[in-house]
Amino acid sequence: MGLLDGKTAIITGAASPRGLGKATARLFAEHDARVAIVDLDADQAGSAADDLPGSGHIGLAGDVTDRDACDAVAKAVLEAFGRIDILVNNAGITQPLKLMEITPENYDAVTDVSLRGTLYMSQAVIPQMRAQKSGSIVNLSSVSAQRGGGIFGGPHYSAAKAGVLGLTKAMARELAPDGIRSNAICPGFIATDITAGKLTPEMKAQVLAGIPMGRAGEASDVAGCALFLASDLSAYVTGSEVDVNGGSLIH
């Protein structure tokens, strides 16, 4: 029996084949969860759901920056699964811009998806989790929030991901009496579609030199941490930020 047997999970931004969301969805499905993959494109979300182990998974179109769309996703998941046990707020975008290059449009795009999207999607599932007196919310932050950027994301990305940490902790405090946990994951340098092809060999060597474990992370490394935070293994863990960075930031 899997760690998530009988549980249902919503994972946002999980249609990209090599992304953190898809790896998390796959691991959750392997542990017997029923998974709803949410992404901008309904067909891609559906294909990603069909690709998961087991059966009964669904793919839904949803823009996390739209509060009504988030509510519609929660409603659709309730209709399909009857409950909502886990939310992984994975949807996010990054832009490698310097401070003075950040336009209002850049700021809005990055902050809206990472921070506003995490808030809206959480707001959409909390009433059901409160009714159940249980739930686990897992938010994707970044080592960039802790160390002030340094690899890909510009300062607006660092700011959005730092905002996710503050939101995670405030939610943990407020929701704990309802039996709902809220935790964040801070990945370091992970080999995904976002990072593929963006680094010169020299840049990559420099990044790896700063990682004591000497390798880039894999999407599965982040998924394993999400599984821990989603499952009852972490029943007494809330308001935490878990570093998955190979030792590149030890604090």
Instruction: Indicate if 236 belongs to the active site.
Output: no
Non-local CB neighbours of 221 within 8 Å, separated by 6+ positions: 187, 190, 244
**Which residue from 31, 50, 36 is spatially nearest to 227, judged by alpha carbons?**
31
Radius of gyration of the chain (CA): 17
Query: Torsions phi, psi of 13, nearest 5?
Result: 60, 40
Integer CA distances (angstroms), 108 to 89, 113, 121, 182, 187, in order:
18, 8, 17, 25, 23
Integer CA distances (angstroms), 212 to 106, 152, 209, in order:
33, 19, 7
HSE, side-chain direction, 13 A CA sphere, residue 165: 19
**Which residue from 237, 79, 83, 236 is spatially nearest to 168, judged by alpha carbons?**
237
Helix axes 20-30, 42-50, angle to 10 degrees: 40
3-state secondary structure of 249: coil
Q: With b meaning 16 or more CB within 10 Å and e meaning fewer, what string describes 175-191? A: beeeebbbbbbbbbbbe
Active site residues: 157
